[in-house]
Amino acid sequence: MKNVLVFDSQSNFPGKDALINKGYHFEYLSEIEPTLVKSVRSSVSGVLVSFDLIKLDIVSFIRKIKTAFADKPLIIYSADDDGLNTILMIEAGADEVLSRGMNTREAQARVVKQFNIFQQLTSFGATQLLQAECIHIHEFKLYPNSYEIKKNEEVIELTPREFFTLLFLYENRGKIVTREDIINELKNTFGKTSDNKRITDMFISNIRNKLGLDCSTSFNIATVRGRGYYLKFNNST
């Protein structure tokens, strides 16, 4: 059975009846309550959030929830069909965004896909890098199973898509990776991802800022104008 925490004041997630028949159990909360979230965290397989409940402060709410459930799929549903909002939600940490007009069958399929993706990632991983317990890049340690990265033992928070972008660049070190390459890799791993190239630039910018990458760190993410990005190592690895 998969336990799903749902933040929604109306309990109206589309496709819930079909998912119940597939072994999903839904627990509804009308408010995002940190105390209650903490008490059920260990038993939760994933989180669904109604867009209407967070639309007044989208980024803050998503980051708060994703921080509490970093290794669980976070799906926003009943969202307005707004490309900018979709980018903001994914950039903030949402793993999937279901639009308000999406039919029930597609919504159900996307939820199942995200839960299966995260189940695979936390068990065996999709590639040899994902199977590694820890990847060392000088002062940085990457932990693929938990999307965690440490710099000199200090934990740095990256969203799953940011983490996978960094991991993809590392896997292709020595090569220039295009924005299209990154978007396609994210789609293959997480499903729905915006085709807007701006979202890739946002992920790269966030990674640089959060990791404090510059010429003094062991590596940086270099931009090749008109082509893409590559990892530039300031010392041999």
Q: What would the pLDDT profile of 196-217 be if each residue is shown by its tens digit?
A: 778 889 899 999 999 999 888 8
77 and 25 within one domain: yes
- Of 115, 25, 19, 37, nearest to 73 by C-alpha is 115
Q: How many domains does the chain have?
A: 2
- Would you say 118 and 75 are in contact if contact means Cβ atoms under 8 Å apart? no
170 and 109 within one domain: no
Return the pLDDT at 222.
92
Domain termination residue (choose one: 123, 146, 173)? 123
Instruction: Return d(Cα 25, Cα 43) in angstroms, integer.
Output: 11
132 and 119 within one domain: no
Percent of the chain with pLDDT over 70: 87
183 and 161 within one domain: yes
199 and 113 within one domain: no
83 and 8 within one domain: yes
136 and 88 within one domain: no
74 and 10 within one domain: yes
Mean pLDDT of 179-193: 83
Return the CATH number at 223.
Answer: 1.10.10.10
pLDDT in tens, 72-106: 889 999 888 777 788 888 878 888 898 888 888 88
Return the CATH number at 49.
Answer: 3.40.50.2300
pTM score, two decimals? 0.58
Confidence tier at 185 by pLDDT (50, 70, 90) = confident
139 and 159 within one domain: yes
137 and 76 within one domain: no
Domain termination residue (choose one: 123, 153, 170)? 123
Return the pLDDT at 225.
87
Confidence tier at 235 by pLDDT (50, 70, 90) = low
Q: What are phi and psi of 146, to 5 degrees?
A: -120, 5
223 and 166 within one domain: yes
More confident residue, 140 or 234: 140
Return the pLDDT at 166.
93
Return the pLDDT at 236.
46
Q: Check pLDDT > 50 for residue 231.
A: yes
Most confidently modeled of 20-29, 124-133, 138-147?
20-29
Return the pLDDT at 47.
92
pLDDT in tens, 123-140: 444 444 545 578 888 788
By residue range, what is the domain housing residue 155? 128-233
228 and 195 within one domain: yes
